[in-house]
Every structure is written in structure tokens, then in C-alpha cells.
Amino acid sequence: MVTAVEALAALLLVGVVVWLATRSKFDKNHPVEKSEQTDAPENLAVSSLLEATLTGMREGLLVVNRDMRVVASNPAARKLFNPSVATLQSQRLTELTRNPEIYSAFLDGLKGLERSGVKVETHGPERQIFDLRVVPIGNANGNGAEGALGVFFDITRTERLEIVRQEFLSNVSHELRTPLTAIIAFVETLEEGAIEDRESSQRFLSIIRKNASRMHSLIDDILELTSIEGGNVQLRAAPVDLYTLVQNVCASAAAKAAAQSVTLQNKVEPDVMVYADERRLEQMLTNLIDNGIKFSREHGTVAISYESGTRDKILVQDNGDGIPSQHLERLFERFYRVDRARSRDMGGTGLGLAIVKHLALLHRGEVTVTSELGKGSTFTIHLPKIG
């Protein structure tokens, strides 16, 4: 993507230079942005095409003369430096920004040097990151260039994605390392003699098995999430009999619920139909019901119900401990847990809700949560209606 943008920039730079060359002499008394158009019709067409391109492009473009005053800019540059003024014309670069990186890049441009890959960050209400490229304009004789042209590529999104990717990788490594460390430690203990003691060795082996299964679930969930996020999951949406589906999910979770003395209640009316990929909806409900059971108190209840509205709503409600409100906003993020140790202890991967969120989005729906401490939580899957 960067190469395409760079190619575009190169094209534009050539265009701008041609544009500047076809206009009046390049100095501060003849600002190019406003100069009168007296060219032949064919030049006029080229010039208006360039003007439209410069206005429409997302990259900020700034041209300064030898005095470091702006002689040309486009709306994207105005938005970047000073959205409140109509034009940046004639302003000194130092009036626009105090960023020394920008200043030194343009200074180099005036000395006839090309600079690229200058990373510029803005710290306004919305933090943005730009990759600045500056090229000299005009003959770079002994006195330096006549001006310098800078293009600001917005790389905020790319940078953000890179941070998310790095965080994900470091989370995955951390999550895998924890059970692996336990496995190695217990294998070493067995090797050092504990294997002779039947009772301890049984206990250690069961810890090893538990940690190995955790790694297994983690890898399964990571692969699942990556494939959903990567757009490799195709939905086969069709009308689904919700009551029967909920019955089946409850039947599969019955043993787990019984082990925790939790009651599952299917409150969906028979004949309710929703429009979804049945297997994926089952996966979402399984995750939410599983959480409901895990985070319930003993003798708690997990109830599944349906509400109609502009969208179909499927509610999974428990009367467990509830979730402190400060956690609700981040609950669907990968690896986010309210109580990390408790989640791990219960075999959680911290990816279940992220998977539910992405599956709901894939259905062009969403998943939301409300919760009250001490009273319980309600997770709601919102799905577009049939047709």
C-alpha cells in the first residue's frame, strides 16, 4: 500500500513541479496558489485536473519558498496545520508548526537535499502520525533550491494496526508461556524423583494435562479468531429455529452447569425464527452460556430469551457476580479479563468474547453487555431481521 501511495506521490510531485513551472515566476510576490490563469485551453485543462487532484488528495501538500514562507498548500495540509484559516498562504513555516523535524526537513529541501521517511506526530485532540517526504524545487545551484515541497502521508491507521499486531503477538507469547512454564517445571520435578511417588506423580501429571489442554484451547481460539478477522469465514445465513438451537446448546452445556449447580433456562418461545448462520450462532451462544455458567454463583441461573424490535435480540442473562462498570467498555477486546487468574483457573483463554463480537459483526449485527455488580450480567446478540 505504501508503494502505491509513494508512486502516486511521485506522480503528483512531477505534476506539481510542471504546474509550478507553467505558472508565474516562483517567488513570494507571485503566490502560485492564487495566480491568475491565462494559459492556453490545453494547459487550463491540465491545470484544473491538477488542482482537483490536489484538493481531493488525502495527503497534505505544502510548498515553501526560499524564505520558508508557504506559497502553495492543499486543503489536507490546512486541516493538518490550521483548520481555522482559509489559507496558509504567506505564513512562515515556524508560524505553522514548532515541530523541529518538519522544519529541518524543509531546510534540507531548500539546500537541495531530498528527505523521506520523516515521522511526524501531531498531538491535537486526535493524535495523527505522518510520514513526511520533502523534495527541493527548481535548480539546486550553489545557492540552494528555489523552494521545497513536502508531502505528508497519513500513516496513523497503519501505525495503529502495527501496535495492535505487536500487542497481540506479545499477548499470545505470554499466554502460551505460562502453561508451558508449568509443564516444564512439573516434568522436571517428576524427572528429579517425584515419579517414584505414585500419589504426587498422578497429581503432577494431571496438572501437566490441564496446562497442555489450555495451550490447545488457546491455539484453537487464536486460529479461529484469526480466520474470522481475516475474512476467511463464509457465513451461510438462513432462517434458524431459535428455540431448538437454544435447547441443543443447553443440552451440550448441561453437564458443566450441573457440576456448578447452575440451572439453564430456555425462555425462547417455540416458533421464533432468526436469520443467521446456524453453526456460528450456536458458537456465539455456547461461548456466552459457558461464561454465564463459569461466572455464576452456586445455584445460579443462566436464562436465554428472545426480544423482537428493529433487530432480533437474543439475551443470555446470568445472576452471577456481575462486572464492574469500568471493565465493560474493553470486555470484548482480545485477552481482556476482569480477573486474569480466575479466568485462567477456569480454563479460559480470554478470547471467547472477542470471537463472539467478530461473529456478530460478520452477521452485520453486534453484541452488547449490561451488568450490575452483585446482580449479574446480560449479554445481548443483536441480529438484522429476516429479509
| Piece of the chain touching ligand ADP by CB under 6 A; list 58-66, 89-97, 201-209, 332-340 | 332-340
Nearest-approach distance from CB 378 to ligand ADP, in angstroms: 9
- Coarse DSSP helix, strand, coil percentages of the chain, rounded to the nearest 5 percent: 50, 20, 30
Among 176, 337, 366, 384, which residue sits at the site for ligand ADP (rule: CB under 6 A)?
337
> 311-318 and 366-372: which strand pairing?
unpaired
Q: Distance (Å, rounded) from C-alpha 171 to C-alpha 229?
A: 17
Among 211, 349, 362, 367, which residue sits at the site for ligand ADP (rule: CB under 6 A)?
349
Torsions phi, psi for 19 (to 5 deg): -60, -45
| Piece of the chain touching ligand ADP by CB under 6 A; list 50-58, 160-168, 245-253, 290-298 | 290-298
Nearest-approach distance from CB 337 to ligand ADP, in angstroms: 3
For 117, the grid coordinates are 521517511
With beta carbons less than 8 A apart as the criterion, state whether 29 and 66 touch: no
- Longest Cα–Cα distance of the chain, Å, equals 98
Closer Cβ to ligand ADP, 292 or 365, answer by number: 292
| Sequence-ordered strand ranges (E) for the chain | 60-65, 70-73, 115-122, 128-137, 147-154, 238-241, 263-266, 273-276, 301-307, 311-318, 366-372, 376-384
Q: Is residue 380 within the footprint of ligand ADP (CB under 6 A)?
A: no
Nearest-approach distance from CB 51 to ligand ADP, in angstroms: 51
Among 102, 118, 264, 331, which residue sits at the site for ligand ADP (rule: CB under 6 A)?
331
User: Could you identify the residue written with the cell 418461545?
Assistant: 269
Among 132, 377, 381, 383, which residue sits at the site for ligand ADP (rule: CB under 6 A)?
377
Closer Cβ to ligand ADP, 264 or 351, answer by number: 351
| Piece of the chain touching ligand ADP by CB under 6 A; list 111-119, 174-182, 255-263, 330-338 | 330-338
Nearest-approach distance from CB 322 to ligand ADP, in angstroms: 7
Q: Is residue 353 within the footprint of ligand ADP (CB under 6 A)?
A: yes
Q: Distance (Å, rounded) from C-alpha 187 to C-alpha 4?
A: 53
With beta carbons less than 8 A apart as the criterion, state whether 270 and 243 touch: yes
Under rule CB under 6 A, how many of the chain's residues touch ligand ADP?
19
With beta carbons less than 8 A apart as the criterion, state whether 367 and 284 touch: yes
Give the contact letters, 295-324, x = binds to ligand ADP (CB under 6 A), - = no: x----------------------x-x--x-
Residues near ligand ADP, by CB under 6 A: 291-292, 295, 318, 320, 323, 331, 337-339, 343, 348-354, 377
